[in-house]
Amino acid sequence: MLLVLVEDDSGAVSGASREALALAHELATKLDVPVHAATFGTGEFTTTLSAHGASVLHRIEGPFADDCSPEVRGAALGELIRSAGATGVLAAGSEWGNEIMAHAAARTGEAFASNCVEVDAGREWSLTRVRGGGMLLEEAELSGAVKFVSLVPGSVEPTEVTAPGEVATESFVPEHVDDLVHSKLVERTTSGTGASLATARVIVSGGRGVGSAEGFASLEELAGLLGGAVGCSRVATNSGWRPHSDQVGLTGTKIAADLYIACGISGATQHWVGCMGAKSILAVNTDPEAPLVSRADYAVIGDIHQILPAVVERARERKKEVQGAV
């Protein structure tokens, strides 16, 4: 049986988890085994699971509501894997997914291939995973009684099956997590305001060319107008212009926006691997030879401090025209 760890996104199966389900179905068909799902969430997932060909949903219950540590969740998942007899475990390669998979793999003493983009099942599993945030691809063989794999979000089509079946729900209460030495969640603050970098549709991002913390005002304005988020390069955080939580890159956030507007960012490898997941990139830079300008889909050559205010003004006018027309 192949088990998919399903992430709860406001009561629904997360998009990245649906991709993991689709891949699990493909591998399970080849191996001639069923697909089960496991979750710590409380959403009604069975319709989606059925559409992806899963036959059983294991609800892992116990003190897992909201205040639970990654150690306990990982151990609980590990216990389910053993008791239900999974031979492969798949999850989305989100921070959350990778952490719990690492715990479950460590507890069961099995190997874990994180951030895969292609997986083929056999006695050993052949896979391709991303290294260094995407600077290189690694082809690898995964062996062991239970194979753990996480998938880079967006690497598989979340295809649905042609003949959906029934999904049985079973509850699983782990027995061996009480004596575990673990951390506990003591505080949680929800930021809530504005679009987050990881999920924003459009990101306006600035680098060395912005020149100062104040220089980000026009980026904020454009992002606000487009309903997007503001990002930055490592230079901007290291210069103290922006908080690290705004950083796009290898050691910051990896984004998957529809449009990434890079202002005054030359595009070192460290930054490129963070923004290459965007569907389109628009680079605004004084240097037509900057690496990000050559890698971008669109470019404007010139000073961002002249270009951005003009873009904001024209976009405002266009918005008014459209509203006027309606």
Q: Does 12 bind other proteins (CB under 8 A)?
A: no
Q: The tokens of 223 are what?
A: 């992002």
How far is 303 from 285, CA to CA, in rounded Å? 7
| Pairing relationship of beta strands 136-142 and 125-131 according to DSSP bridges | antiparallel
Q: Report the b/e string of 34-73 with b at 16+ CB within 10 A.
A: bbbbbbbbebebbebbbbbbbbbbbbbebebeeebbebbb
Q: The tokens of 101 are what?
A: 């998979």
Q: Does 266 bind other proteins (CB under 8 A)?
A: no
Are 146 and 108 in contact by the 8 Å Cβ rule? The answer is: yes
**Which of 252, 264, 267, 274 forms a contact with other proteins (CB under 8 A)?**
252
**Which of 32, 123, 166, 190 forms a contact with other proteins (CB under 8 A)?**
190
**Which of 44, 120, 138, 220 forms a contact with other proteins (CB under 8 A)?**
138
Which segments are annotated as binding site? 208, 233-234, 247-251, 264-271, 285, 303-304
Q: Does 206 bind other proteins (CB under 8 A)?
A: no
* Count of other CB atoms within 10 angstroms of residue 130: 19
How far is 311 from 304, CA to CA, in rounded Å? 10
- Binders of other proteins among residues 13 to 52 (CB under 8 A) are none
CB of 137 vs other proteins, minimal distance in Å: 5
Q: For other proteins, which stretch binds (CB under 8 A), given 34-42, 124-132, 154-162, 163-171? A: 124-132
**Which of 196, 217, 220, 287 forms a contact with other proteins (CB under 8 A)?**
196
| Pairing relationship of beta strands 125-131 and 168-172 according to DSSP bridges | unpaired
Cα dihedral 150, 156, 83, 34, rounded to 10, equals -160
Which segments are annotated as binding site for FAD? 208, 233-234, 247-251, 264-271, 285, 303-304
- Binders of other proteins among residues 72 to 111 (CB under 8 A) are 74, 94-96, 98-99, 101-103, 105-107, 110-111
**Which of 47, 143, 171, 212 forms a contact with other proteins (CB under 8 A)?**
143
Tell me whether residue 168 or residue 244 sits nearer to other proteins (CB atom).
244
Q: Does 176 bind other proteins (CB under 8 A)?
A: no
Q: Does 5 bind other proteins (CB under 8 A)?
A: no
**Which of 1, 4, 71, 262 forms a contact with other proteins (CB under 8 A)?**
71
Q: Does 187 bind other proteins (CB under 8 A)?
A: yes
Give just the sign of the alpha carbon dihedral 79, 82, 86, 88: positive
**Which of 45, 64, 112, 241 forms a contact with other proteins (CB under 8 A)?**
112
Q: Does 300 bind other proteins (CB under 8 A)?
A: yes
Q: Nearest-CA neighbor of 139 among 121, 118, 110, 111?
A: 118
How far is 321 from 94, CA to CA, in rounded Å? 41
